[in-house]
Structure 1
Amino acid sequence: MVLVPSVPSIKVNADMYGHEKMVQQMNQLINNDPSLKGAIAGVSIRSAKDGKIIYAQQGDVRLRPASNMKLLTAAAALNVLGEDYTFTTEIHTDGPIKKKTLHGNLYIKGKGDPTLLKSDFDQMAEVVQKRGIKKISGNLIGDDTWYDDVRYSLDLPWSDETTHYGAQISALTASPTKDYDAGSVKVLVQPAARKGEKPSVKMTPKTSYLKIINKAVTGAEESKKNITIERVHAKNTITIKGTIPIKAKPEQDWIGVWDPTRFSMSLLKQSLTEHGIQVTGKLKTGMVPDTAKMLTTHHSIPLSELLVPFMKLSNNVHAEILIKEMGKVVKGKGSWENGLKVLNSELVKFGVNPKTLVLRDASGVSHVNLIPANQLTQLLFTVQKEKWFSSYLHSLPVAGAPEKMEGGTLRNRLKDPLVRGKVKAKTGTISTVSSISGYVKTKSGQTLIFSILLNNLLEDTKGKKVEDRMLTIIANQ
């Protein structure tokens, strides 16, 4: 049973703002919706104008936020790093260039850039080529020491290890597309022209770092699609099994690679080879020596632009990279421990009480993270005054907006005219948890701030339907 507390101050605020009907409808929905039977609903609604709480249902109860955790991470990153902050990747050499040969090693030093594409490695190779280098007599060495060597956050489920949203965190990593799913590859499976033939498989970026074992078959047009794309634990072998019907739409998935540092090095070697540069040595990891000379520096897009795929598409790897980057910049070491210390100190500036929270990662994938809904709405109220708030607000998914980089995780939700385009919010989903927090423009023209945290659900998809009903009630004010 979900209890609705009777809090006089909340009722007074509701009366002041003329939201008595909303309070009644919210209470009725929370108490009577079968999806919430045996679950916990934490709800907080504030005025965006003065921050007063209009409605709270278990608003001070600590609940798992899922990806609503990213609201905290993004705010802290903007405050600590700034909107114009970029990540750099450096190419160094430690030997002389004679007769078109680099007599020494070539180094690539990663500093956390999650946006490196194959085309960026091509540009680096082009710089090496323009230096007249045709051969590298030494090794290609990757330096990922900008962060520590802990690859997974404390509570990441083992089952997430091979997924793009559970990819390893490295200061030297690469992405397959401009969605910037760092540390992963995109695998596309298309049916063959004839029944019984193997479907075609395309991997982005095209690389030999991972091996594809294709055990799938093209089935009859009326057969059922049941393709699985899975990577073997601790290896870079992807096995494809099952059936894909003739004329069926392609099946695609994003797979986290094992060791993104070496993956990035292999992409650079591939680009060097494609530019006519021979690497005679091996791929190794190590540190750039102080005596090395820098050939070129590549800069990422600014943080204000990175926030869009990070928040709209709810990118876990971006969150964990940002927490390590804050740890590196402020504390001198890029680790979860240091990054979370920085996050806690930043939250105080936004009126959030860290003593009410349990924070274990930056993405919300942990089931140990705990945040009260009232603390989330407090954050969302306070950040409105920050100079970077427009970038923060722009990064949030927009209800019912069909374009991926606008609607994000809300593009297929809240399409009713009452709410379409009027809700800007961060969604969240982990097993048994669904959440959504953000801003809503109401029928009367007010802006309300809300946080809805639903825990202990049997089906998170039903939780999202409950959230959409709640947001329709709020928007109708």
Structure 2
Amino acid sequence: MRWMNKLLLVFIVSLLGISCEAQKSRSNKLQTYVNEFVSDSCFYSAGIGIVVSDVKTGKNLASNQAHLALTPASTQKLITTAAALEILGSNYQFTTQIETDGELLKNGTLAGNLIVKGFGDPTLGSKYFENEKPIEQLIAEKIKALGIRKIQGKILADASYIEAKIPATWIWEDIGNYYGAIPNGLSFHDNMYSLFFSSGKAGTATQLTKTEPQNTGLVFNNQVISSAVNRDLAYIFGGNTSNQRRIEGSIPQNRAQFKVKGALLQPKNSLIESLNQSFLKVGISIENKVFPAKERSLLLNLNSPKLKDIITLTNQKSINLFADHLLFEIGAKESGKASWENGIEAVKNFWNQKGLPTKYLSLYDGCGLSHFNAVSADFFDQVLRIMYRSRYSNEFSSSLPVSGISGTLKSFGRNSDLQGNWKAKTGSMTGVRTYCGYLTTKSGKEYGVTILINNYSCSSSAVNIKLLTLLNQLYNS
């Protein structure tokens, strides 16, 4: 019997050895794939941080310069949205209040002003949340339902919850354009306006025909020309120190109407304009008399969609404004005041408390638009592993674009093995391409994969092909 026990022990040890060798072989194969990827001539002068890990065991399977702090672009939204889920909770809702400083008389007259007080809701009137009725119409109908038929004062907006300020590290090319919209105490219609142009023959001047909303509070200097290039290459220049906006670049030729979107610094003006129109439509007259400021009373509360739904759109559509509003709300929750500085400090403190090294983490916003942001692949990998075990794991994972199916990955990997198996946040700006998410392999393993590339020298389409090759290799490993 003793020799049989020895034989069994030898057999078990052999199996364990074979298993360990198989794991080692798989890990070596993954590292080989990563090494081949980074050695491509396209990346000769690039900075590349890569981590491939087993999210269940936490084991690092392959890497390249994982410690290197690189520009993350929009993958930075994962750091913000994950922190928002953990700090605020998946069912958190923003609030907007409708108040008055007057008295409602028996004849339906409001003897005073009606005030919309914002608390940083990024979804108010947003195109990303479809409602049966526009929010301004809904407010007008609710006010009428309270018995108000006339407002002797004005419709006013209180956006004091947030001091609207453009980050000093955002570049001039970005801040005037729609993706450079900044958080506001009363954000409305995604803090965006639209310019409509007509164009003629290539090389000729365009005409700026109208703006929506009409009251932008801005003065435009149109230098846009018509072009044979069939894409929007127009850029709006101007910051928060002036109401002057210069539009340069080109739009496609021979268009009767072509829309270019810009960032609105004072969305409350647009909201007031929309509310005035909606109130008149439902039969509420506004006399616009001047009333001195008095103590206010609450008329209505408006709640935003739940945070998990906001985060899903933030990551799926890569909405900068939503991500930065989440950063501000985290700051308000943790320090009592919504601001860039408080939000960034609160996010860093949160991840530091989770055991992540924030000493080498550089954050200048919540969305990733600043070129000064710098995050390592190792940091992203640890975020992925923490959120994989989080109570909000499902909400976080389901917010990510899915290869070949949804969001910013809808076209990436379509009709390939990656379709439906690669969930990730993407990021891109000039010279920057980043991915961070979860890969379910052919054998059913779940990998955390982070790829950060800065300063590549080939075309973006060429980088996409190389990324597809690497991810397919990881999938089939």
TM-score (norm 2): 0.83
Matches within 5 A, 1:156-235: 156-175=170-189, 182-186=190-194, 207-209=214-216, 225=230, 231=236, 233=238, 234-235=242-243
* 5+ long unaligned stretches in structure 1: 1-11, 176-181, 402-406
Q: How many residues align?
A: 443
Shift of 1:373: 0.5
Cα distance change, pair 359–376 in 1 and its aligned pair in 2 (3 A)? same
The corresponding residue for 1:355 is 359
Shift of 1:216: 11
Cα distance change, pair 264–460 in 1 and its aligned pair in 2 (3 A)? farther
Most deviating of 63-72 and 274-283: 274-283
Q: Alignment partner for residue 378 of structure 1, among 382, 392, 401?
A: 382
Cα distance change, pair 474–201 in 1 and its aligned pair in 2 (3 A)? farther
* 8 Å contact from structure 2 (residues 69, 375) kept in 1: yes
Matches within 5 A, 1:61-460: 61-98=68-105, 99-117=107-125, 119-147=134-162, 149-175=163-189, 182-186=190-194, 207-209=214-216, 225=230, 231=236, 233=238, 234-235=242-243, 244=252, 251-281=258-288, 291-401=295-405, 407-458=406-457
Cα distance change, pair 235–320 in 1 and its aligned pair in 2 (3 A)? same
Shift of 1:84: 0.4
Point out the structure with max Rg over C-alpha: 2
Please provide the CA RMSD for this pair. 3.4
Shift of 1:29: 2.1
Distance (whole Å) between structure 2 residues aligned to residue 367 and residue 77 of structure 1: 22
Distance (whole Å) between structure 1 residues aligned to residue 251 and residue 319 of structure 2: 30
Matches within 5 A, 1:52-67: 52-67=59-74
Shift of 1:268: 2.2
The amino acid that maps onto 1:155 is: T
Q: Alignment partner for residue 37 of structure 2, among 6, 19, 29?
A: 29
* 8 Å contact from structure 2 (residues 224, 248) kept in 1: no
Q: Indicate yes or no: 2:46 matched with 1:39.
A: yes
SS of 2:58 mapped into structure 1 = coil
The amino acid that maps onto 2:303 is: H
Shift of 1:466: 3.1
Cα distance change, pair 365–134 in 1 and its aligned pair in 2 (3 A)? same
Shift of 1:277: 2.6
SS of 1:297 mapped into structure 2 = strand
Deviations, residues 15-41 of structure 1 (Å, cap 9, x unaligned) = 53623222212212211x222011111
Cα distance change, pair 121–14 in 1 and its aligned pair in 2 (3 A)? farther
Shift of 1:115: 1.1
Distance (whole Å) between structure 1 residues aligned to residue 123 and residue 446 of structure 2: 34
The amino acid that maps onto 1:16 is: K
* 8 Å contact from structure 2 (residues 223, 246) kept in 1: no
Most deviating of 61-70 and 341-350: 341-350
The amino acid that maps onto 1:418 is: D
* 8 Å contact from structure 1 (residues 229, 238) kept in 2: no
SS of 1:71 mapped into structure 2 = helix
TM-score (norm 1): 0.83
Deviations, residues 202-250 of structure 1 (Å, cap 9, x unaligned) = 866x54447898989999xx9664666555634387979967566x797
SS of 2:417 mapped into structure 1 = coil
SS of 2:26 mapped into structure 1 = coil
Distance (whole Å) between structure 1 residues aligned to residue 277 and residue 396 of structure 2: 37
The corresponding residue for 1:4 is none
Cα distance change, pair 445–227 in 1 and its aligned pair in 2 (3 A)? closer
Distance (whole Å) between structure 2 residues aligned to residue 154 and residue 212 of structure 1: 23
Shift of 1:70: 0.8
Shift of 1:114: 1.1
* 8 Å contact from structure 2 (residues 222, 246) kept in 1: no
Distance (whole Å) between structure 2 residues aligned to residue 259 and residue 128 of structure 1: 24
The amino acid that maps onto 1:38 is: S
Most deviating of 270-279 and 121-130: 270-279
Distance (whole Å) between structure 1 residues aligned to residue 83 and residue 463 of structure 2: 28
* 8 Å contact from structure 2 (residues 151, 286) kept in 1: yes
The corresponding residue for 2:474 is 474
Shift of 1:60: 1.0
The amino acid that maps onto 1:453 is: L
* 5+ long unaligned stretches in structure 2: 1-19, 127-133
* 8 Å contact from structure 1 (residues 96, 104) kept in 2: yes
Distance (whole Å) between structure 1 residues aligned to residue 236 and residue 123 of structure 2: 23
Shift of 1:67: 1.2
Distance (whole Å) between structure 2 residues aligned to residue 101 and residue 237 of structure 1: 41
* 8 Å contact from structure 2 (residues 34, 64) kept in 1: no
Sequence identity, in percent? 28
* 8 Å contact from structure 2 (residues 219, 243) kept in 1: no
Cα distance change, pair 94–34 in 1 and its aligned pair in 2 (3 A)? same
Deviations, residues 340-387 of structure 1 (Å, cap 9, x unaligned) = 121112113443211131122111111221111011111101111111
